[in-house]
Structure formats: structure tokens, C-alpha cells
Chains A and B, each alone.
Chain A
Amino acid sequence: MSGEVIGVWIGAILTLGIFSFLYKDNPFYKFSEALFVGISAGYWFVVTFWQYFVPKFWDNLALAYSELLTKGRVDYHWIYLVGGFFGVLMLLRLVPKIGWLSRWSLAFIVGTTAGLQFTRYLESNGIKQVVGTISPLLVSGNMNATIGNIIIVVGTFCGLIYFFFSKEHKGAFGGAARVGVWFLMITFGALFGYTVMSRMSLLIGRMDYLFGIWLSLY
């Protein structure tokens, strides 16, 4: 029996173990779940060590050290010590007395991410989307584009009205808000439909694995 065949059998048995929860909680499911969690944790530890720690930190420090030995100075690789320092601070959470120092690392992460994301998110998901809604309501010779643009403008406007709570939703204002609710509900419906399709796709993949690859029934 080749390694591949053994792998397929293990995969199939563990899949059935996880599926068995659909009937009721049982030791077979518990075992499969624990194995999955354990292997995932081990896998990610190894990935983090070899793909993040070693190439991004250790190798660069080694380079800095060799630069120091050969040139008598370090060009810029010393900067990785700053990252290492913040990493050590993060680990200090394990020491309750000085655990507060880990907040420095968190502050650095949050600050850098916010700074990096702010302009990019504002442009791509803010300004460009606003510009996208400013479309001509009538496109001559193209009925589809005309209807599409009207839907975008009305949907955006009424959707925003619904979230404006400083004025009571009455009269024309309330009517626009109700239209906004309809647009929101249709959007949520589409999102739900896509989510169902996604989950069904995963189930199809598993069933194909069981019947097609494991049992070779077709």
C-alpha cells in the first residue's frame, strides 16, 4: 500500500469522523477534532518558524553579523533588531509583573497598520467607490446601462438615507429609507445565497473525495 493510498484512507476516515457530529457528539468526532486542532497548531508553528522567523529575522541578523566581521560596520540590517525587540516585548505577557510592556508592541502594530491602511483604504474603498456612483442617469442607446446606473444611484442614496438617524423616518424621507431597506435586504439575500453556494461547494468537494477518490465509485 503506497503512502498516497494510506493518506487517502486517513483523510476519508477523519472526514467521516467530523461528519459523525451531524448525528451526535461522539468520541470518534472528538478524536478527529482534537487531531485537527493539534496538527494545525504544530503545522503553523513550523510554518511561522521557517517562513517568518528564520528568513525575516535570523537570516538578516546573520547577515548583519557577517557584515560587521567583514566590513567592520553594519549597513541597515541592524534594523531587524528593532523588530526582534518588539517581539520579545510581546512574549513578556507571559510574565504578569511586566506584561504591560507587550502593549508597546501592540501599539506599534496597530499604529503601523492604521497608517499603512488609512490612505489605501480611503482611496480604493472610499473615494473610488463614491466616484463609481456618480454616473449619468441616461446613457443614450444603452438601456441596460441606464437602468443599471439608476439602480446604483437610487440604491446608494436610499441606503444612506436609512442610516441617517438624526431625522425621523416619516413622509418622503421615510419612504426613501424604506426603499433603502429593500436594497439592503436584497444585498443581504445575495450575500446569503453566495454563502450557501460556498458552503455547498465545500461539501461537494468532500463528497467527491469520499465517493470519487476514496471509494472510486465513479
Chain B
Amino acid sequence: MNETTNQEKKTFWEKLLSIDRRIIFLFIAVAISLPLFFKTSLDMPVSPVVQEVYNAVEKLQAGSKVLVSFDYDPSSMPELQPMAESFFRHCFRNNLKVIIMGLWPQGPLQANIALEQVFKDEDIKAKNLQYGIDYVNLGFTAGNEVVIDRMGHDFRESYPADSRGTPLSEIPLMRGVRNYDNIDLILNLSAGYPGTQEWVQYAVDVFHVKLAAGNTAVQAPSMYPYIQTGQLAGVLGGMKGGAEYEIALKRPARAVSYMFSQAIAHGVICLFIIIGNIAFFSSRKKKTS
């Protein structure tokens, strides 16, 4: 009976404080899902750190060699896969040669999925890109940062053959490539260890290569100090970084369409934070009085 009386005395804000968490989950689920149906793309400015990655690719001459290290697995796909696809599009559009590798076992497989997607584009299909001449997938090799270090001396120390088992000496694209001296730009797509930090420590600061990075949003803030010191050419931070890169490329794709959901979800979270704070302070005021 007393409990019922207490329930009746509860104000609106107090009731909000004891709201079932599942209702909040439901709001977030709707906020995430509903915008996906509208296919609306948000217009957003390209931040300087993303523009730097774009510029780094634009500055390369046709035929330049780009090394892309896929250091993530399927759990980070929503954030990093759109970046991989956009970067491949950019490279192939500018007739750059792409060398793929991975320090994570599933990384090179992610690269194959991205390539499959990119090859569906009419303009890229028309280029009739050949494996071994225009792009190559070296696959995964164990050893984490030691692999990065050994590649600085000779790629063959870590990768005697590509992912298909073909010796590097028999691959036309790899014939002129001995170490990082023959690579014009490296992009590291990373979701943790080994990743961008190891590439900075073992490739940039030892062999002075030009490195750009695409990171999950959790990682991105730790990478920004490397830009200020010139250790990184640019960073694509999380889904937003990927979306900005798509805009810079003038080819909005998945990341841009996802950003509408992202924005609505963030709005709902902010709203809940504000409501929660108002409820907390108003109930505290009542207790004090």
C-alpha cells in the first residue's frame, strides 16, 4: 500500500529517472534503422586531415605504387570497409598500382571483398585491371611489427610469395619493388594492434615512408598527434572520415548514407543526456527542499 502511495507521489522527472533501459534501446534502434530507409545523404565539409589523404593520392603520378595494409577483421567492416573501397576507387581512377597486404589474418580477405565491390563500377571495369600488373594481394604473414621492419629491408623476407603462392619475382608489379624505397604511399587501415601506431614506429620513423591511415573512431583520437608531428600524412577517422573521403572523391557511397543514421542516433543520445540531467537535477532539488 505504501509502495503504491510512493509511486503516486513520483513526479514526471523522477519517473523518467527510473525508466526501463529497454525503452532507450528501442529508441536507439529506431533512430538507427529508420534513416537507412530514406537513403538521404548528409552534406558535410571535408576536414583538413581527410583532405590531406586525398591530396596525397592526387599528387602521385600514374603508375606510382601504393601499399595498402589491411589490419582489421570483419567486426570493423562498417567503419573501415567504405574507406577501403573509396581508396581503391581513387587509386584505380588515377591509374596507380596497388599492393595489398595484411598484418591481421582476415585483412587480405577484406581487401578482396572491397575489390569485388569496386570492380562493379563501370569506369573501373572499363580499365580492365589485371591481377599482378595493376594490383596484387600479398596476403597475411605472421609477425606483427617485425613484418613491417623486415619489409623495410626487403619485401621478400616477409613475403616470398603472394596470397596465391606465386613467387614475387614472377609478378610483374613486384619486379621493381624491393623495399619501401620503391613505394610512393602507404595506407594503413587499422582497427587495433598491430596497426597505425606500429606503422608509424617501424616504417615512418625508421624508413621515412609517407603514411596515411584509416582508423576506427575509437582509435582515431590517438592518431591525431602523429599528424601534427608530420609522422602521418592524414587520417580517416571512423565512419565520418570515410564519408568525408567519399565526398572528397565526389562519389558518395555507403559511408555517406550511413552518416544520416549516425547523426540521428547522436541526436537521440544527446536528447537522452539532456533529459537525464534535467531529471537528475530536478529530483535532487526536490530532495534538498
Contact = CB atoms under 8 A, between A and B. Distances in A.
Interface of A: 22-23, 47, 51-52, 55-56, 116, 120-121, 123-125, 128-129, 131-132, 152, 187, 190-191, 194-198, 200-208, 211-212, 217-218
Main secondary structure of the interface of B (DSSP, over half): helix
Interface in B17-36: 22, 25, 28-29, 32-33, 36
24 contacts: A22-B22, A55-B142, A56-B143, A116-B146, A120-B145, A120-B206, A121-B201, A123-B201, A124-B200, A124-B204, A124-B205, A128-B205, A129-B225, A152-B228, A194-B237, A200-B32, A200-B266, A202-B75, A203-B265, A204-B262, A207-B29, A207-B261, A212-B36, A218-B37
Nearest 10 A-B pairs (CB), nearest first?
A: A205-B78, A198-B217, A132-B229, A120-B201, A194-B217, A197-B217, A124-B201, A201-B239, A198-B218, A52-B142
A190 B146 CA distance: 32
Contacts of B201: 120-121, 123-125
Contacts of A194: 217-218, 220-221, 237-238
B37 A198 contact: no
Interface string B204-234: 1110000000001110110001001101000
Contacts of A52: 142
Nearest to B139: A51
Chain B, interface size category, equals: 35 or more
Contacts of A195: 217-218
Main secondary structure of the interface of A (DSSP, over half): helix
B18 to A, nearest CB: 18
A8 to B, nearest CB: 14
Given A51-B142, A124-B200, A129-B225, A197 B262 contact: yes
A116 B145 contact: yes
B65 interface: no
A41 to B, nearest CB: 15
A201 B229 contact: no
Contacts of B28: 203
Contacts of B202: 120
Contacts of A211: 33, 36-37
A203 B217 contact: no
A131 B231 CA distance: 12
Given A51-B141, A123-B205, A152-B228, 14 more contacts: A52-B142, A120-B202, A120-B206, A121-B201, A124-B200, A132-B228, A132-B229, A194-B220, A196-B269, A198-B238, A200-B261, A200-B265, A204-B258, A218-B36
Interface string B109-135: 000000000000000000000000000
A191 B229 contact: no
Nearest to B218: A198
Nearest to B229: A132
B79 interface: yes
B180 interface: no
B70 interface: no
Interface of B: 22, 25, 28-29, 32-33, 36-37, 39, 75, 77-79, 105, 140-143, 145-146, 197, 200-202, 204-206, 216-218, 220-221, 225, 228-229, 231, 237-240, 258, 261-262, 265-266, 269
Contacts of B25: 22
Contacts of A217: 37
A205 B77 CA distance: 8
A195 B220 CA distance: 9
Contacts of A128: 205, 229, 231
A39 to B, nearest CB: 13
Nearest to A24: B22
Nearest to A197: B217
Contacts of A23: 22
Given A128-B231, A203-B28, A204-B262, A191 B221 contact: yes
Contact of B33 (A132, A197, A207): A207
Contacts of B146: 116
Nearest to A119: B201
Contacts of B143: 56
Contact of A204 (B36, B142, B220, B240): B36
B228 A197 contact: no
B229 A129 contact: yes
B36 A201 contact: no
A201 B221 contact: no
A163 B249 CA distance: 44
Contacts of A202: 75, 78-79
A205 B261 CA distance: 10
Contacts of A208: 36, 78, 258
